[in-house]
Amino acid sequence: MPSLDDILKPVAEAVKNGKKVTFFNGAGISTGAGIPDFRSPDTGLYANLAKLNLPFAEAVFDIDFFKEDPKPFYTLAEELYPGNFAPTKFHHFIKLLQDQGSLKRVYTQNIDTLERLAGVEDKYIVEAHGSFASNHCVDCHKEMTTETLKTYMKDKKIPSCQHCEGYVKPDIVFFGEGLPVKFFDLWEDDCEDVEVAIVAGTSLTVFPFASLPGEVNKKCLRVLVNKEKAGTFKHEPRKSDIIALHDCDIVAEKLCTLLGLDDKLNEVYEKEKIKYSKAETKETKMHEIEDKLKEEAHLKEDKHTTKVDNKEKQNDANDKELEQLIDKLKI
């Protein structure tokens, strides 16, 4: 079995020869920061969200459900909001490629904005599923500033529109909403020009994003960095595909070593760790998120129990009134 160095050497050689890299990122590149992915059994966000007794786990990102009950989303958003997590080595690897002129574009499904926090410029980033960077009312579409939304969240209140009193949410693409226009416009321009495609930390199950790696030109060097084969790499593989079934941060470290960027990576990573010293370890954050969801689930159960108890008390009271009325009629 070839070593990881041997697997990644063609990627490093392509970059050294002037080829530019286009990234297609999923939640797996951020798990090293303590942000759980969506679909991993037991530890994924959807597994944890089951504790909230939602009609279905994905309801937390369903626009119709949000309009009925936005609290589950904001319970989760409080934990995932930018500033709670520091960029990983993979994010810094992207930034280092930008610095040396080897970055073409970053298409990301993630809403955590960690690419931005690592210093990747806006012109390179396409947030296919939106992000926390801006916020709008779901009814009248008026914008709310990030500072105002943060104030609501700090006060444990659901952000409401100052114009129509409708619910406000960050511009994250929910199920039932269309993707940003920027996504389609830039992909139309980029599609035929992708030279090296690094697909990282994604199960390639959510469309149309999942279709992108399969649409790149035949000359493109495609690289999958994931825990298992996924999407077009599994069902429509190409002979030139490079498969690295490893942790994203480990692959970033190896590529930096092969490109002579390892010292820079370690330097910037350590510097950023100090900068984001408030960002806890992965394990701590995972436990915090799970505890938060459990707490919310208990509150729901308590409310349900209280509601049942009150209903029983009301029924008892009604029965008593009925008995008194019957007694009066007997007289």
- Active-site hit among 91, 129, 235, 287: 129
C-beta of residue 19 within 8 angstroms of C-beta of residue 26:
no
The phi and psi torsions of 33 (rounded to 5 degrees) equal: -85, -5
Q: Which amino acid is at 110?
A: N
C-beta of residue 180 within 8 angstroms of C-beta of residue 125:
no
Residue 248 tokens read as 């994203």
Residue 57 tokens read as 């786990």
Q: What is the spatial distance between Cα 110 and Cα 74, in angstroms, rounded to a whole number? A: 17
C-beta of residue 169 within 8 angstroms of C-beta of residue 146:
no
Strand-pair partners of 199: 24, 224
How many CA atoms within 13 Å lie on the side-chain side of 232?
22
Q: How far apart are the first and last CA of the chain?
A: 96
Q: Which amino acid is at 225?
A: V
Report the candidate in 216, 217, 225, 222 with the shortest Cα–Cα distance to residue 196: 222
Asked about 129 being catalytic, the answer comes back as yes
Q: What is the spatial distance between Cα 25 and Cα 31, in angstroms, rounded to a whole number? A: 12
Q: What is the spatial distance between Cα 276 and Cα 268, in angstroms, rounded to a whole number? A: 12
Cβ atoms within 10 Å, residue 302: 10
Which stretches does DSSP call E strand in the chain?
A: 21-25, 103-108, 125-127, 130-137, 143-144, 168-172, 196-200, 221-225, 242-244
User: Mind telling me the catalytic residues?
Assistant: 129
